[in-house]
């Protein structure tokens, strides 16, 4: 007897972490979100930069797959694929945004930092003309523990008219997460909680 199998390919949601500057915590955030999602759904992580730090994780990542960027859109075995990006010239990011379902823009809380994300947000809005269902959000990242600064930053960010999600604090525990398998593998409970909250909010956005 021949059996008929029906294959249904669900497309993975593609979540890109972007900011045209380096050092804002993109890769660390991409990694921790990927590990966090990986606890519940089939998750892959990729980097548009073949020289980037994510690619080095191929051997040590557990619970998530590390993919070469060229192959990520061919994948149907994942629910979510996180895409890390290097610092970039703004126009080179357009095709990457076009392939994304959600763009996460991390920013520090300082005034120059908040101004620096305008170019990325402008590009998102431009791409949204072409791809209406592209979503975007801002994550305050590496936030120093001074609540009033964060409040001011949130107010200033309102001009961009994008959701501002739960924030990630500046914590030593994040600096090791590349080698230790993400924040959930460590014992910083406050950090785990904030990553979990952010994960929940991203799931609601998707």
Ligand X SMILES: Nc1ncnc2c1ncn2[C@@H]1O[C@H](COP(=O)(O)OP(=O)(O)O)[C@@H](O)[C@H]1O
Q: Where along the sequence are the contacts to ligand X (CB under 6 A)?
A: 22-28, 142, 168, 170-171, 174-175
Which is closer to ligand X, CB of 28 or CB of 43? 28
The partner in contact with residue 68, picked from Mg ion, ligand X, none with C-beta cut-offs of 5 to 8 angstroms by kind, is: none
Chosen from Mg ion, ligand X, none, partner binding at 28 (C-beta under 5 to 8 Å by type): ligand X
Q: Which residue's beta carbon is nearest to the bound Mg ion?
A: 27
Q: Residue 9 CB, nearest distance to ligand X (Å)? A: 31
Q: Please, what is the minimum distance in Å from the beta carbon of residue 95 to ligand X?
A: 20
Residues at the interface with Mg ion (CB under 5 A): 26-27
Q: How far is the CB of 20 from Mg ion (least distance, A)?
A: 12
Opening angle at CA 204, ends 203 and 205, nearest 5: 90
CB-nearer residue toward Mg ion: 27 or 36:
27
Residue 110, CA distances (Å) to 17, 48, 117, 144, 195 in order: 19, 27, 11, 10, 21
The one of ligand X, Mg ion, none whose footprint includes residue 175, by CB under 5 to 8 A per kind, is ligand X
Residue 43 CB, shortest distance to Mg ion, in Å, is 18
Nearer of residues 20 and 199 to Mg ion, judged by Cβ:
20
Among Mg ion, ligand X, none, the one that 46 touches (CB under a kind-dependent 5 to 8 A) is none
Secondary structure element (H or E) that encloses residue 150, with its range? helix 147-157
Alpha carbon distance 16, 169 (integer Å): 20
DSSP 40-56: TS-EEEEES-TTSTGGG
> Directed axis angle between helix 26-38 and helix 189-205, to 10°?
80
Q: Which two structure tokens, joined as six digits, stand for 49?
A: 């930069």
**Shortest distance in whole angstroms from residue 25 CB to Mg ion:** 8
Using CA atoms in the order 165, 171, 177, 179, what is the torsion angle rounded to 10 degrees? 160
């Amino acid at each position: 007897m021949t059996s008929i199998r029906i294959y249904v390919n669900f497309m993975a949601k593609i979540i890109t972490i972007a900011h045209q500057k380096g050092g804002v915590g993109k890769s660390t955030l991409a990694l921790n979100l990927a590990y966090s999602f990986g606890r519940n759904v089939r998750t892959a992580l990729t980097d548009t930069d073949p020289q980037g730090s994510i690619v080095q994780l191929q051997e040590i990542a557990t619970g998530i797959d590390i993919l070469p960027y060229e192959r990520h859109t061919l994948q149907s075995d994942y629910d979510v694929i996180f895409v890390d990006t290097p610092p970039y010239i703004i126009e080179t990011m357009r095709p990457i945004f076009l392939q994304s379902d959600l763009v996460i823009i991390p920013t520090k809380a300082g005034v120059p930092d908040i101004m620096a994300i305008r170019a990325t947000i402008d590009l998102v809005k431009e791409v949204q003309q072409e791809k209406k269902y592209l979503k975007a959000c801002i994550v305050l990242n590496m936030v120093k523990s001074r609540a009033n600064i964060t409040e001011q930053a949130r107010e200033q960010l309102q001009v961009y008219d994008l959701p501002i999600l739960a924030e990630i604090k500046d914590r030593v525990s994040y600096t090791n997460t590349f080698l230790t398998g993400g924040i959930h593998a460590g014992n910083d409970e406050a950090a785990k909680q904030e990553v979990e909250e952010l994960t929940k909010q991203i799931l609601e956005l998707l």
